[in-house]
Amino acid sequence: MNSFRELIVWQKSMDFVTEVYNVTKDFPKEEQFGLSAQMRRAAVSIPSNISEGYGRKSQGDFGRFLAYSIGSDYELQTQIEVSRNIGFLESEKCSLLIERLEEIARMLKSLKSKIK
């Protein structure tokens, strides 16, 4: 593999960042610096940590940064559920987003286990 860009999990997490930005743009304006910003940071953190870990050129570092990505994935799952609970997201949309994040988390865990 010549680049982190070849990793399907990186590609899927990049697509998910766009989805989070699209979803949160409809949040109330008072959430611009609250939950919306926090969700965007967590979403961006997933592919960012994949690429940073890959760039470190050590399996140990890569595994550690994949663990950070997994943590951001779970953080974002929680934030999506909070968004549903307070009425910012419909239950169906919430379920679809969480399903995609669970797939990304499985892929990250699989990649992490393969690089050990």
Q: What is the pLDDT along the chain (116 residues), one digit of tens a residue?
A: 789 999 999 999 999 999 999 999 999 998 888 999 999 999 999 999 999 999 998 999 999 999 999 999 999 999 999 999 999 999 999 999 999 999 999 999 999 999 97
CATH class in words for 4-115: mainly alpha
SS3 label, residue 7: coil
In this prediction the pTM is 0.95
CA distance 6 to 78: 28
Element (H, E) at 25: none
Residue matched to tokens 């940073």: 52
pLDDT at 112: 97
